[in-house]
């Protein structure tokens, strides 16, 4: 797959909406942080040391093309990307915002279906990410673990018998695993229950963040729920706790949806169709309103109120209406006003296309 294909293609595997519980769980991700034993971590490495990490990992990758997971993968250097191209990869959740903005000598290994993303010289030397649609944490972990074992046979990891795997951030020391689930919680937001539920999640050792992780806003009622600590916990304990909490969140959201359908079905349908009408006809719309309206329509699709739009189109629109995608498609940097016009036109065209198909 060419670099252009990764940037131009709007639909990654995780957006297709075909996984378990995909009406509420958008995606499941497992990320493993690892560092090389004999080189400083990226946060303190000099240019020569950072380039040495790149060289070693690239050599391992190129010698291991017999690995079926990496057979169609591509090595992409951050130095070869424009700022807009980096932003597109962030919006597709294939690299982190930190990687796009801070990594001086970084690269990413992307599999053909974009389910695997291995960041090199982000906050750690290696960040192995597996991203699956729906509620598939265990499957994402198995693939990430397989890749981790493969790299460990070829690279000497920084490891301490007492502390476990060593990482730049102390919260990742131990297993080095960060598991997360992106959930869509519009009914709980409408019922004003999130202010009670989300703080309770943090009290059991999990983190709740916005759509792009730490420091980002929860646009479109999308939240990432993840483990906060890896030291002192096994991989199974981390996954079991996260799965248990997410299952409870799913049930709360289902109950909230059923309650709304029972006590105010007309008002709910009116809200869904008002948002659909605005999206289908607006000439100007900013990203925050677009995400909010797309969230309403996605809820309507999941509840069967809207039947001529598919869930994966909603997932797609949540990505391609972001600033990076809009500007890359336009081939130039756009002002906020120009982006708002282009966003509205793109949504109108995509919804019209879906209705015709």
How many residues in the chain?
357
In the predicted structure, residue 1 carries a pLDDT above the cut 50: no
Residue that the structure tokens 């189109």 belong to? 313
Cα 151 to Cα 37, 108, 161, distances in angstroms: 13, 15, 19
Alpha carbons 75 and 66: distance in angstroms, whole number: 15
Closest CA to 159 of 20, 36, 276: 36
In the predicted structure, residue 213 carries a pLDDT above the cut 60: no
pLDDT band at 121 (very low <50, low <70, confident <90, very high): very high
**All structural domains of the chain with their residue ranges:** 3-256, 264-356
Q: Is 31 annotated as a binding residue?
A: yes
Mean of all residue pLDDT scores within the chain: 90
In the predicted structure, residue 268 carries a pLDDT above the cut 80: yes
- Mean pLDDT calculated for residue range 329-344: 93
DSSP letter for 193, please: -
Share of the chain above pLDDT 90, in %: 66
Q: Is 211 annotated as a binding residue?
A: yes
Q: Is 28 annotated as a binding residue?
A: yes
Q: Is 93 annotated as a binding residue?
A: yes
Q: Is 182 annotated as a binding residue?
A: yes
Closest CA to 73 of 58, 83, 86, 85: 58
Q: Is 257 annotated as a binding residue?
A: no
Q: Is 215 annotated as a binding residue?
A: no
Q: Give 107-119 pLDDT, tens digit per residue.
A: 999 998 899 999 9
In the predicted structure, residue 2 carries a pLDDT above the cut 70: no
Alpha carbons 163 and 172: distance in angstroms, whole number: 11
Please provide the DSSP assignment of 48-71 as one string: HHHHHHHHHHHHHHHHTTTSTTTT
DSSP letter for 134, please: S
Minimum mean pLDDT range among 32-46, 183-197, 256-270, 319-333: 319-333
Q: Give 160-186 pLDDT, tens digit per residue.
A: 999 999 999 888 889 999 999 999 999
Q: Is 157 annotated as a binding residue?
A: no
- Mean pLDDT calculated for residue range 257-274: 97
- Residue 133: Cβ within 10 Å count: 22
Domain 3-256 = CATH 3.30.590.10: yes
Q: Is 173 annotated as a binding residue?
A: no
- Mean pLDDT calculated for residue range 251-277: 97
Q: Is 127 annotated as a binding residue?
A: yes
- Mean pLDDT calculated for residue range 128-150: 96
Q: Is 27 annotated as a binding residue?
A: yes
In the predicted structure, residue 24 carries a pLDDT above the cut 60: yes
Q: Is 252 annotated as a binding residue?
A: no
């Amino acid at each position: 797959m060419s670099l252009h294909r990764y940037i131009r293609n709007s639909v990654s595997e995780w957006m297709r909406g075909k996984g378990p519980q995909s009406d509420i769980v958008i995606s499941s991700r497992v990320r493993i942080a690892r560092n090389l034993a004999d080189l400083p971590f990226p946060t303190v490495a000099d240019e020569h040391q950072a380039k040495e990490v790149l060289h070693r990992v690239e050599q391992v990758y190129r010698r291991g093309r017999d690995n079926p997971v990496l057979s169609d993968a591509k090595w992409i250097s951050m130095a070869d990307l424009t700022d807009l191209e980096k932003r597109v990869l962030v919006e597709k959740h294939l690299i982190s915002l930190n990687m796009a903005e801070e990594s001086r000598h970084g690269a990413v290994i992307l599999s053909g279906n974009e389910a695997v993303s291995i960041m090199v010289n982000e906050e750690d030397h290696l960040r192995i990410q597996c991203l699956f649609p729906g509620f598939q944490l265990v499957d994402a972990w198995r693939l990430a673990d397989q890749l981790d074992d493969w790299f460990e046979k070829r690279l000497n990891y920084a490891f301490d018998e007492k502390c476990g795997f060593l990482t730049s951030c102390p919260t990742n020391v131990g297993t080095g695993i960060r598991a997360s689930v992106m959930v869509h919680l519009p009914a709980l937001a409408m019922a004003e229950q999130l202010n009670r539920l989300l703080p309770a999640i943090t009290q059991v050792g999990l983190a709740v963040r916005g759509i792009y992780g730490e420091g980002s806003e929860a646009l479109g009622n999308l939240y990432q729920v993840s483990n906060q600590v890896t030291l002192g916990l096994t991989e199974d304990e981390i996954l079991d706790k996260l799965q248990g909490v997410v299952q409870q969140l799913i049930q709360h959201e289902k109950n909230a949806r059923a309650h709304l359908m029972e006590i105010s079905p007309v008002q709910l349908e009116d809200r869904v169709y008002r948002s659909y009408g605005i999206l289908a006809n607006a000439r100007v719309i900013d990203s925050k309103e677009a995400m909010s309206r797309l969230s309403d329509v996605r809820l309507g699709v999941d509840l069967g109120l809207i039947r001529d739009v598919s869930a994966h189109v909603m997932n797609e629109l949540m990505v391609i209406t972001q600033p990076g995608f809009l500007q890359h498609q336009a081939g130039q940097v756009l002002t906020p006003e120009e982006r708002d016009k282009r966003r509205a036109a793109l949504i109108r065209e995509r919804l019209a296309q879906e209705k015709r198909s």
